[in-house]
Amino acid sequence: MYADRTSDAMRIAIQETTRRRKIQEQYNTEHGITPKTISKSIQDILVRKREEKRRSEEVNIEVLTKSYNVLVPKEKRELIKALEGEMFELAKNLEFERAAVVRDEIKKIKEMSST
């Protein structure tokens, strides 16, 4: 903690932390436990979170696309418009990774007509 002076709340928090630390150290000593630092790659955690978001958004897109028939031009345009609306909403909420997934789906749907 950083401050010019120690407030009552800070003093109480520090005392409680010290009290709990003593209890934990006593328990560890009695049970022969040597604490170890958890070592996880931060990169692994970030990749896992990114993949979870991507899978979640793909499920949302799948549900939305099932309600449209992309072979019918009017429905295809409506689907693209709906996906674009969702993409812009996600971007507005600073969910850029999810917005990118929607963008990629829009691109895929648009390319279906050119193939």
Query: Distance between CA 93 and CA 44 in Å, rounded?
Result: 25
pLDDT given at position 81: 92
- For the packed helices 42-66 and 73-92, what is the interaxial angle rounded to 10 degrees? 150
Is pTM beyond 0.75? Reply is no
Q: Where are the domains of the chain?
A: 1-36, 42-114
CB 27 within 8 A of CB 33: yes
Closest CA to 50 of 100, 2, 106: 100
Element housing 46 (H / E): helix 42-66
pLDDT given at position 39: 76
17-74 residue pLDDT tens: 999 999 999 999 999 999 988 876 777 777 887 788 778 777 778 877 777 887 788 8
Query: Distance between CA 103 and CA 91 in Å, rounded?
Result: 11
pLDDT given at position 14: 94
pLDDT given at position 115: 52
Query: Distance between CA 95 and CA 55 in Å, rounded?
Result: 14
